[in-house]
Chain A
């Protein structure tokens, strides 16, 4: 199974700042990576698919990049509602796997 490793585990930033979250795959997954946001008590929400494509209704401040084994989710200017846990997920191979998450918290 493909292991996804996210870093950092926790990121402390202030509203208005930019955020960079990383996800590394244990083997190449070409561009088959998605990003999700999860808030407490809610189901995850798909933000980015195939590494760099925003899902429907996702604000332009969210962007994704990368290919092969190294991927990045960037948030250009943090809004208060962006503080949450973010997960990456690969669809290259079954079983689909998720990273362990990065908690984005208010500094």
Chain B
């Protein structure tokens, strides 16, 4: 069974870069050819898809985040990482990492981590 776990700072200062890591167990990036994503949820609000990285290393980011996003893969550690630059209070959210089910639906999720942007 695939399990995902987010880790990273819970507090980031405005204008800095938010950095989160998702550690995957029960499966590796090199098997199955899946997409791995970051999705966030503002407090009390709905879900916003941030971007994906494919096991091949290809990426696609939500244009709404205006080039501030980078997602990278470390297959040796079974991890993928989110970097979101120039953060503001509007980036305060619970951040989830997720893996799709082969049909581009997000079946496996981490438990989520709250990141607050504040000085």
For window 34-80 of A, CB contacts with B under 8 Å fall at: 34, 36, 42-46, 49-50, 55
Contact A89–B105 (Cβ < 8 Å): yes
User: Nearest A residue to B100 by beta-carbon distance?
Assistant: A91
- Measuring CB to CB, which residues of chain A are less than 8 angstroms from any residue of chain B? 1, 32, 34, 36, 42-46, 49-50, 55, 87, 89, 91, 94-101
A96-B49, A98-B47, A101-B46 known; A89+B106 contact, CB < 8 A? yes
Chain B residues with CB below 8 A from A36, complex form:
47, 106
Interchain Cβ contacts within 8 Å, total number: 53
Chain A residues with CB below 8 A from B96, complex form:
43
Main secondary structure of the interface of A (DSSP, over half): loop
CA of A42 to CA of B94 in the docked complex: distance in angstroms? 11
CA of A94 to CA of B103 in the docked complex: distance in angstroms? 13
Least distance between A102 CB and chain B CB atoms (Å): 10
Least distance between A36 CB and chain B CB atoms (Å): 8
B64 contacts partner chain A, Cβ-Cβ < 8 Å: yes
Q: B38-66 vs A: 1/0 string, CB under 8 Å?
A: 00000000111101000000001011100
